[in-house]
Amino acid sequence: MARGLDILGDPWGMLVLREVFFGNGRFDAMKSRLGAADSVLTKRLAALVDAGLLARQPYADGGRTRQEYVLTAKGEDALPVLNAVVLWAEKHLPAPSEQSHMFVMHTGCGARTTSADSCTACGERLTVRNTSWHSLTRTPDPVPLAAAPDPAGTTPHANGAAS
């Protein structure tokens, strides 16, 4: 457990992973969403890359090449941990407002689940390709999760579709 907590036990690291799962892997977008100082975000991103949960991927920004952060297969495997934190918080902690709730959804059957690793409605195992998070502060609709790039080198999008 201690080895896992070294990587996944940092609150800022978990929030960074949440943003990348939401498909928000660009530094400025993460900084804006999290309200983190540059130094804090830079340190957490470097730690997650060093641990192999995230990878840097170049993208063009108006003629300038920048880096965005994408999940790796190892990062995808952290999904049940993040789901468990979401589910535990919803069950045991009061939300500061009605808009502050977040739910784990199985896109296969459309049900909200109360399990971190399988759908409580149909029993299917939850993966980044069949799971959405519904954060009422972000959008009125559930957001499909981003996936690691496939080995063919295509770019991941939310719900695992590649271009």
> Which percentage of the chain shows pLDDT scores above 70?
93
Q: Is 84 exposed, middle or buried (0-12, 13-18, 19+ CB in 10 A)?
A: middle
CATH number at residue 60: 1.10.10.10
Where a domain ends, among 10, 44, 72? 72
Q: Do 120 and 136 belong to one domain?
A: yes
At position 115, the amino acid (one-letter code) is S
Per DSSP, helices labelled H in 22-69 are 27-34, 38-50
For residues 21 and 147, give the distance between their C-alpha atoms in angstroms, rounded to a whole number: 7
Number of structural domains in the chain:
2
Q: Do 60 and 97 belong to one domain?
A: no
Instruction: Report pLDDT for 62.
Output: 84
At position 98, the amino acid (one-letter code) is E
At position 158, the amino acid (one-letter code) is A
Q: Do 66 and 87 belong to one domain?
A: no
Would 117 be classed as within a structural domain? yes
The dihedral through the CA atoms of 15, 17, 22, 23 has a sign that is positive
Q: Do 24 and 63 belong to one domain?
A: yes
Q: Do 55 and 87 belong to one domain?
A: no
Domain residues for 42? 2-72
Q: What is the pTM of this model?
A: 0.89
Q: Do 51 and 18 belong to one domain?
A: yes
Instruction: Report pLDDT for 86.
Output: 97
Q: Which residues in the chain show pLDDT less than 50?
A: 155-163
Q: How many helices (H) and strands (E) does the chain have?
A: 6, 6
Would 162 be classed as within a structural domain? no
- By the 8 A CB rule, do 20 and 146 touch? yes
